[in-house]
Structure 1
């Protein structure tokens, strides 16, 4: 019990799960936010596009978040499982709407139930955005824009004038939130493209240098393999007192 145990750690290289997570996020967020901004579609559109949003933006992103555990990437795990769960939930909700089991509810009106979701999304997205400042400018901008848009939407859903949504400003305010979301989706697309191009041409390739992401000094100095930070199975176990 007093000896230091010999621990062998096997690392299995995998593709960055953040690439899939950000791709699913970018696709679902762009489709939904451009619809919310009234760029296209009608009241029936969500029942058509949310199956794709729920699968690619929800399920695929959620799976990417789970693989973040294997990649030992806490940021990827938290942000992708959270937003993946959100898009899966929205997809299920609109499936009920399409089936006639739940009445449709416009995001341009008072929506306290969705506000309760937005509180959790906003809080953890702000935390993730802060953590992303240690990585690169593009990922950080993606998450900060997402956090700002989510916070605006949360306030609108919670405090808008339920009797007169136009006076409450949700229609105008939700458009502002949707523009932040679309900017976040564009940043996510750019970051995914960096993953793809760097894998194809290498970080120092001529094409790779076109897709600037602004890696921080901390990220550039980070070792290829980072020691465990006290994960279960990696740290030394603490002996428990034997029963008398």
Structure 2
């Protein structure tokens, strides 16, 4: 029995939610846009990614399980924090929240070296995004805006990989290249 690939779902959920929040972080929209980001974070970014992560388990994909369930939990924690607790936490501590997510993403990027090039680029752009957002809180708000733009790049890369996995499987050939990993050892 062939199991469906849950990664395109997780990637699309991640990409869509990241794009919406990053437009706000880049300064394209003000705080009035945040409630829609929160709704999306609960339902698509959070829940759909957790489902995708859990569906990676029977496929034996530890990386997919850890990545999708972790970032799904990120979206839930982010939405709950913004909705209920944002005014109660010092900004410097929020910087640590983003920095630790950046650190987690950095080691997931290292693990992605065993995957296709498109996935490597998603994780590269994402750890840069988290660090820029953290440094923006700690040092200079212009870095937060740069983090918003890095998030937009991250979202585009994740959308591309999601589309490539769906389209390539549907046509049973490479339509959108992802830079398949070549083991040269």
Task: Give the structure 2 partner of residue 136 of structure 1.
Answer: 116
Please report the TM-score for the alignment, with normalisation by the length of structure 2: 0.89
SS at match of 2:31: coil
Secondary structure at the counterpart of residue 3 of structure 2:
coil
Q: TM-score, normalised by structure 1?
A: 0.69
Please provide the CA RMSD for this pair: 2.1
Tell me what 1:21 maps to. Answer: 10
| d(CA) in 2 for partners of 1:43, 1:115 | 19
Structure with the higher helix share, 1 or 2: 2
Provide the secondary structure at the position in 2 that maps to 1:16: coil
Counterpart of 1:185 in 2: which secondary structure? helix
- Rg bigger for which structure? 1
Q: Give the distance between the partners of 1:21 and 1:218, measured in 2 at CA.
A: 26
Q: CA shift at 1:22, angstroms?
A: 0.6
Instruction: Return the alpha-carbon distance in structure 2 between the equivalents of residues 133 and 123 of structure 1.
Output: 16
Counterpart CA distance in 2 for 1:212 and 1:200 is 14
The unaligned stretches of length 5 or more in structure 1 are 1-11, 161-168, 220-244
- Name the SS for the 2:111 alignment partner: helix
Q: Hey, what's the Cα distance between the residues in 2 that align with 1:29 and 1:37?
A: 12
Aligned length: 184
Is the deviation greater in 194-203 or in 110-119? 110-119
Q: Quote how far apart the aligned CAs of 1:44 are.
A: 2.4
Tell me by how many angstroms 1:104 deviates: 8.5
Listed as ranges, the matches of 1:91-130 within 5 Å are 91-96=79-84, 103=87, 111-130=91-110
- Assess if the C-alpha contact under 8 Å between 1:36 and 1:175 holds in 2: yes
Give the one of 12, 36, 49 matched to 1:48: 36
DSSP-derived class of the 1:217 partner: coil
Q: 1 or 2 for the larger relative contact order (CA 8 Å, sep ≥6)? A: 2
Report how far residue 190 of structure 1 moved: 0.6
Q: Is residue 84 of structure 1 aligned with residue 54 of structure 2?
A: no
